């Protein structure tokens, strides 16, 4: 190895520490959400000192210094902003003065406030950083080294979630009520912000142009379909999901859309458009092609802008602006999906399964945060 300069050695060491400690940032964010720190700041008029945050969250007063250290990390990370409590001037770096600093919400932390009109994304954070998922990544190296052909407990076809827990993530949601509730609340929390942007831009993009009926496949408790029906009253919306999900949605009293119990691999009801959101990244190509073929059977032939299409909302690797956090978030999301044998696809990967399923054309309509909208035509 060529000798490195002192500057290169120092930077390399710093970067290794930075990457190795990355998990602390995730845990600190979850801690702030669990404590209700964003809510405490919001309820204090959007600006709160350390003592006010402690009083608003019920944290033990003796932990004040430790909460200050937590807020230092979350401020440097951009989750919160900090300013001089006396003057309101922006603080370049929070010090150790505690009460000299006042903390404010940023656009990021506003999304996890309970009173956010779009609903809090806090359940999504709790789902992504949860005690059943995070430990599975300790087995990633063993999973990668396992011989799939030889079979056995470490075979790659088992996923490293199953290596850690002895069952698939879907089996876990069936037998673990707490994990199932966590999953369902996360899926509800993930939708409103994305759909708010899509519905704002839908007229310009003509996403729902010519569509009079839509079936939301794997639509859960119907939050997305209800939002579409409210924004486009001429569109008759229905939700297809598993019987246990549909029964719960009906028990919750959701009546704005029709719920249909069924299996997307077996049958998808007829409609002008089929909506697939955050579904296909959970599976390999074979299962995705099977579902897309069922979608093709459900929509009118011919396609084009006036109905007869599948609307996919999912990540497209490489799409969007080239800034570092966008690129890194995309690849983090992709590796995260490895633990359940899911995959995030670039445009070529999407094109492959779309054409293999028998569709003739598609177009990327827009980018919405980490997700994109893809229209697929038969």
Please confirm, yes or no, whether 281 is among the known catalytic residues: yes
Among 42, 165, 281, 339, the one annotated catalytic: 281
State the pLDDT confidence band at 91, using cuts at 50, 70 and 90: very low
What is the second-level CATH architecture of the domain 205-377? Answer: 3-Layer(aba) Sandwich (3.40)
Write down the pTM of the prediction. Answer: 0.85
CB-based contacts of 231: which residues, under 8 Å, 6+ apart?
Answer: 199, 202
CB atoms within 10 A of CB 256: 12
| Max avg pLDDT among 239-248, 286-295, 321-330 | 286-295
- Higher pLDDT pick, 150 / 176: 176
* Structural contact between residues 206 and 239, judged by C-beta atoms closer than 8 angstroms: no
Q: Which of 42, 187, 184, 194 is nearest to 118 (CA)?
A: 194
Give the number of C-alpha atoms closer than 13 A to the C-alpha of residue 50, restricted to the C-beta side: 23
Q: Is the pLDDT of residue 360 over 50?
A: yes
Range with the lowest mean pLDDT among 149-153, 174-178, 255-259, 355-359? Answer: 149-153
Segment 356-368 mean pLDDT: 87
Q: What percent of the chain has pLDDT over 70?
A: 90
Pick the CATH number of 6-115 from 1.10.1660.10, 3.40.30.10, 1.10.10.10, 3.40.50.1100: 1.10.10.10
Q: How far is CA 228 from CA 121, 171, 186, 263, 349, in A?
A: 20, 31, 20, 22, 28
Q: Where in the chain is CATH 3.40.50.150?
A: 205-377
Residue spans in the chain of domains classed CATH 1.10.10.10: 6-115
């Amino acid at each position: 190895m060529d000798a490195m300069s002192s500057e290169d050695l120092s930077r390399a060491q710093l970067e290794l520490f930075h990457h190795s400690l990355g998990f602390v940032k995730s845990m600190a964010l979850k801690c702030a959400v669990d404590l209700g720190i964003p809510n405490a700041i919001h309820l204090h008029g959007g600006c709160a000192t350390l003592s006010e945050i402690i009083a608003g969250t019920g944290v033990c007063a003796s932990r004040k210094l430790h909460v200050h250290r937590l807020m230092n990390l979350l401020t440097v990370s951009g989750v919160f902003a900090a300013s001089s409590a006396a003057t309101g001037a922006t603080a370049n770096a929070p010090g150790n003065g505690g009460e000299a600093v006042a903390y404010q919400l940023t656009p990021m932390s506003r999304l996890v406030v309970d009173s956010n009109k779009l609903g809090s994304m806090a359940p999504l954070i709790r789902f992504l950083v949860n005690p059943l998922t995070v430990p599975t990544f300790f087995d990633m190296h063993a999973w990668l080294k396992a011989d799939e052909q030889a079979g056995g407990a470490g075979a790659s076809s088992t996923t490293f979630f199953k290596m850690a827990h002895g069952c698939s993530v879907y089996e876990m949601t069936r037998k673990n009520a707490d994990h199932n509730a966590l999953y369902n609340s996360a899926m509800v929390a993930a939708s409103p912000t994305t759909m708010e942007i899509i519905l704002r831009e839908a007229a310009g993009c003509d996403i729902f142009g010519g569509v009079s009926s839509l079936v939301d496949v794997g639509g859960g408790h119907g939050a997305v379909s209800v939002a579409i029906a409210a924004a486009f009253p001429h569109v008759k919306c229905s939700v297809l999901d598993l019987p246990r999900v549909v029964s719960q949605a009906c028990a919750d009293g959701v009546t704005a859309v029709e719920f249909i119990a069924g299996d997307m691999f077996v049958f998808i009801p007829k409609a002008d458009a089929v909506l697939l959101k955050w579904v296909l990244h959970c599976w390999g190509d074979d299962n995705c092609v099977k579902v897309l073929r069922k979608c093709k059977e459900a929509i009118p032939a011919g396609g084009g802008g006036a109905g007869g299409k599948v609307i996919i909302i999912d990540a497209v690797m490489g799409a969007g602006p080239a800034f570092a956090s966008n690129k890194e978030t995309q690849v983090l999301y992709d590796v995260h999906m490895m633990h359940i044998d899911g995959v995030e696809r670039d445009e070529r990967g999407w094109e492959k399964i779309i054409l293999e399923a028998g569709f003739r054309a598609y177009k990327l309509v827009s980018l919405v945060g980490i997700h994109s909208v893809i229209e697929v035509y038969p």
